[in-house]
Amino acid sequence: MEQVPDAQPVPVCYRHPERETGVRCTRCDRPICPDCMISASVGFQCPECVRGAGSASSARATAPRTIAGATVVGDTRLITKILIGINLAVFLAGRARPELIQDLWLIGAWPPAPFPATQGVADGEWYRLLTSAFTHEEFVHIGFNLLNLWLIGGHVEAALGRARYLTLCLLSGVAGSTVAYLLEPPTTATLGASGVVFGLFGAFAVLVRRQRYDMRPVMLMLAISLLFTFSPGSGVSWQAHLGGLVAGTAIAYAMVHAPRERRALVQYGTCALVFAVILIATLLRTAQLT
**In terms of C-beta density within 10 A (0-12 exposed, 13-18 middle, 19 or more buried), how is residue 22 classed?**
exposed
Q: Is 41 a catalytic residue?
A: no
CA angle 192, 173, 74 (to 5 degrees): 105
Q: Look up 241 and say whether it is catalytic.
A: yes
| 166 vs 99: CA distance, rounded Å | 29
| Distance of alpha carbon 192 from alpha carbon 188, whole angstroms | 14
**Alpha carbons 171 and 189: distance in angstroms, whole number:** 20
Q: Which of 132, 177, 194, 237 is catalytic?
A: 194
Could you say which of 136, 141, 155, 241 is catalytic?
A: 241
Query: CA angle 124-129-134, nearest 5°?
Result: 135
Quote the distance between the C-alpha of residue 77 and its chain's center.
14
Measured between alpha carbons, how far is 32 from 23 in angstroms, rounded to an integer? 6
Q: Are 64 and 52 in contact (CB under 8 A)?
A: yes
List helix spans (H) across the chain.
47-51, 59-62, 78-96, 99-104, 128-131, 139-160, 162-183, 194-210, 216-229, 238-257, 263-289
73: region left, alpha or beta (phi > 0 left; psi from -120 to 50 alpha): beta
Q: Catalytic amino acids?
A: 194, 241
